[in-house]
């Protein structure tokens, strides 16, 4: 499908570009700097090709890779104050563009696993949003569960941005949380291999439709010697239709021109389709003002810390010990 984002954009249009970054093969800390330099170069080149570009998005794991054997060693981790992040900030300043970047973030508690983190940096080089993955991909990813909730920030051109990471997008509850807090553009960065290619597209569409918001989603692309990563950057309209769909090409740039004001107007004026509003005021035709009490058992149980499925005692995979029989490795890398 041809790009719907051009080299120029309307005054009120949010021009976005998603980079189907080639999956990096990382063997040690020195390889991280190579990726940082390459990401900054790609950002500058993309902005040069699309002068009106407002927002550029890089996938999960694009900075530090997916090498599970070294994921959690100190030398492989960053913080938001690391010089590599300063380099991303400077790239956004130099190119007058907002950027979304991935990092594996050192935990404040050195005895606990790191976080899988996304940051939004504005065109002034400031971190506008700091998100930690709420639903790490079990039973593989050894990350601490995110503790920042689902933040939303004001973005360019009237946008309100939220970010989720990969597996997060499979949970409709997280997309609803972002919309409930005002997001009209929901960004998903991921490092999926081809096993869930179809589900990736379905959930990008349903997250958009059920919450009346744009979803823009981009995955790593290419082969790392073990898995193939499918790319396929997807932009979905707030009615759930796909505006733009990338292919499986590493380095493909998927662009689209979005109009956040139209999301806001749909939320204000639509009735039957206004799912996120109708949830909280059921049957307002038959009951003026609608019914507002909580009727969902799982919401009550989750809030009280009592979430438990009827088949809970039959669930076999409940931890990651099959993949990390000696526990998650923390601390300095072995000599």
Active-site positions read 60, 133, 166
Question: Could you check whether the bond before residue 243 is cis, i.e. omega within 30 degrees of 0?
Answer: no
> Which of 143, 145, 188, 151 lies closest to 166, judged by CA?
188
DSSP 146: P
Burial class (CB in 10 A: 0-12, 13-18, 19+), 20: buried
- The distance of Cα 197 from the centroid of its chain, to the nearest Å, equals 16
Cβ of 331: how many Cβ atoms within 10 Å? 11
State the Rg of the chain over Cα: 20
> Which of 43, 56, 49 lies closest to 94, judged by CA?
43
Contact between 110 and 93 under an 8 Å Cβ cutoff? The reply is: no
- The distance of Cα 90 from the centroid of its chain, to the nearest Å, equals 22
Q: Which long-range contacts (CB under 8 A, 24 or more apart) does 310-318 make?
A: 317/138, 317/139
The token duo for 283 is: 């049957």
- The distance of Cα 20 from the centroid of its chain, to the nearest Å, equals 14
């Amino acid at each position: 499908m041809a790009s719907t984002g051009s080299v120029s954009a309307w005054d009120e249009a949010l021009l976005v570009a998603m980079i189907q970054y080639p999956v990096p093969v990382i063997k040690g800390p020195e390889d991280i700097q190579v990726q940082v330099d390459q990401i900054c170069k790609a950002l500058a080149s993309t902005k040069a090709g699309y002068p009106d570009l407002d927002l550029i998005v890089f996938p999960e794991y694009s900075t530090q890779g997916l090498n599970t054997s070294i994921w959690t060693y100190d030398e492989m981790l960053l913080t938001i104050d690391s010089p590599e992040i300063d380099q991303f900030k400077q790239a956004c300043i130099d190119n007058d563009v907002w950027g979304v970047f991935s990092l594996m973030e050192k935990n404040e508690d050195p005895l606990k696993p790191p976080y899988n983190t996304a940051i939004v940096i504005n065109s002034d080089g400031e971190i506008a949003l700091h998100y930690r993955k709420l639903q790490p991909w079990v039973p593989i990813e050894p990350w601490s569960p995110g503790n920042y909730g689902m933040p939303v920030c004001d973005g360019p051109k009237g946008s309100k941005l939220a970010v989720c990471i990969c597996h997060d997008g499979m949970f409709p509850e997280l997309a609803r949380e972002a919309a409930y807090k005002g997001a009209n553009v929901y960004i998903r960065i991921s490092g999926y291999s081809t096993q869930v290619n179809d589900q990736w597209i379905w959930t990008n569409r349903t997250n958009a439709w059920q919450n009346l918001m744009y979803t823009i989603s981009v995955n790593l692309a290419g082969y790392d010697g073990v898995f193939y990563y499918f790319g396929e950057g997807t932009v979905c309209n707030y009615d759930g239709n796909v505006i733009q769909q990338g292919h499986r090409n590493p380095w493909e740039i998927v662009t689209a021109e979005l109009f956040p004001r139209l999301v806001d107007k749909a939320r204000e004026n639509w009735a039957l389709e206004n799912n996120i509003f109708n949830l909280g005021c059921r049957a307002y035709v038959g009951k003026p003002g609608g019914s507002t009490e909580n009727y969902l058992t799982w919401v009550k149980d989750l809030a009280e810390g009592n979430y438990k499925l009827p088949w809970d005692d039959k669930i076999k995979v409940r931890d990651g010990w099959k993949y990390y029989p000696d526990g998650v490795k923390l601390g300095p890398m072995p000599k």
